[in-house]
Amino acid sequence: AQSVAQPEDQVNVAEGNPLTVKCTYSVSGNPYLFWYVQYPNRGLQFLLKYITGDNLVKGSYGFEAEFNKSQTSFHLKKPSALVSDSALYFCAVRDTPNGGDNAGNNRKLIWGLGTSLAVNP
């Protein structure tokens, strides 16, 4: 069954330090992977995605994520954290219930439970 795991409920990092928010996945075909961010009292915002190509994907606000097929991971990273990065981060994978790369018109995403990132000044 398709699934996404974010093993850390909370990540704390000092401002200016590098940050990593972890995500591992399980899918039957090639994964389509996403990161979203939710700031307090706001809806979700798209950060970046991996569909194919380079394993290192660059996204919004200076974030990047590294796709690692052997470890089935898609960790979110940023070289230097800002206090304003404090938010809830969600990893997601596109559902491929029938396996393979094309699940027809189904665009449902399977979500991790989220990781709360706190950047301390």
Partner 1 sequence: NAGVMQNPRHLVRRRGQEARLRCSPMKGHSHVYWYRQLPEEGLKFMVYLQKENIIDESGMPKERFSAEFPKEGPSILRIQQVVRGDSAAYFCASSNLPAGQRGGLYEQYFGPGTRLTVT
CB of 106 to partner 1, least distance (A): 6
Query: Position of tokens 């950047």?
Result: 119
- Identify which of residues 2 and 13 has a Cβ nearer to partner 1 in the complex: 2
- Identify which of residues 71 and 106 has a Cβ nearer to partner 1 in the complex: 106
Distance CA 54, CA 72 (A): 15
- Identify which of residues 17 and 102 has a Cβ nearer to partner 1 in the complex: 102
- Decide: 117 and 19 in contact? Cβ < 8 Å: yes
CB of 37 to partner 1, least distance (A): 10
Positions that interact with partner 1 (CB under 8 A) = 32, 34, 36, 42-46, 49, 51, 90, 94, 101-102, 105-114
| Largest pairwise CA distance in the chain | 47
Distance CA 75, CA 28 (A): 19
